[in-house]
Amino acid sequence: MSQPKEPCPAKLIIRFLFSDPWAQIEALNALVSNFGPMDFLSGSGAFTYTAYYDAEMGQGIRRQTAAFVNLVAPESLPDIKLRTNEIENSLLRDEKRQVNIDPGLLSAERFVLATGKNFTHRVYLRDGIYADLTLVYQKGAYRPLPWTYPDYHEPEFLHYLEVLRKKLKFQQDAILPR
């Protein structure tokens, strides 16, 4: 019989889309105000995987990734998603989103996104929020699954996660990575 045990805290990773530099800065300020200091922020790059957001956010959409110093309890993922939804809503302009914020939790074993959309591979958590198992750590790397969004396959993003995994393990165990 397995014995229940509290999970290790996870690293909060947030990827967000924006087309307006004002919205980018406002989103970053709100994220830091809510989740504490960042310990990683990627440059912004063109988001070219879909035109799904163009009608709402306009042309020239950019993607950026942030990670936060403070580790979080895995069960806090619904609260984090609900808060990022509030941030998105606070930045609406003419009833249109200026940012799309996707929070996820990085553990040594996996990367899980939060979403409000149900699907076959998503597990309901609470308050309308589902967990989307996006990447699994196997054979020394994070690996995509058949349903993983294409932009989460990017070698650059997977590299970020490798570096952040080392940082997470140091934060959890206080052992320097090899």
Q: Given this model, what pLDDT does residue 37 score?
A: 98
CA distance 50 to 73: 32
Is 80 exceeded by the pLDDT of residue 176? no
pLDDT in tens, 122-160: 999 999 999 999 999 999 999 999 999 999 999 999 999
Model confidence at 174, in pLDDT bands (50, 70, 90)? confident
Q: Distances in Å between the alpha carbon of 5 and those of 2, 29, 133?
A: 9, 35, 21
Stated pTM of the model: 0.94
104 close to 15: Cβ distance less than 8 angstroms: yes
- Domains of the chain, by residue range, sit at 10-172
Is 80 exceeded by the pLDDT of residue 178? no
60, amino acid identity: G
How many other CB atoms sit within 10 Å of the CB of residue 49? 15
Q: Helix, strand, or coil here: 48?
A: coil
In DSSP terms, 72 is beta-bridged to: 10
State the average pLDDT for the chain: 95
Domain 10-172 falls under CATH 3.30.70.260: yes
Q: Given this model, what pLDDT does residue 177 score?
A: 64
Is 90 exceeded by the pLDDT of residue 169? yes
pLDDT in tens, 67-98: 999 999 999 999 999 999 999 999 999 999 99
Q: Given this model, what pLDDT does residue 51 score?
A: 87
**133's tokens:** 């198992």
DSSP-derived letter for residue 97 is: -
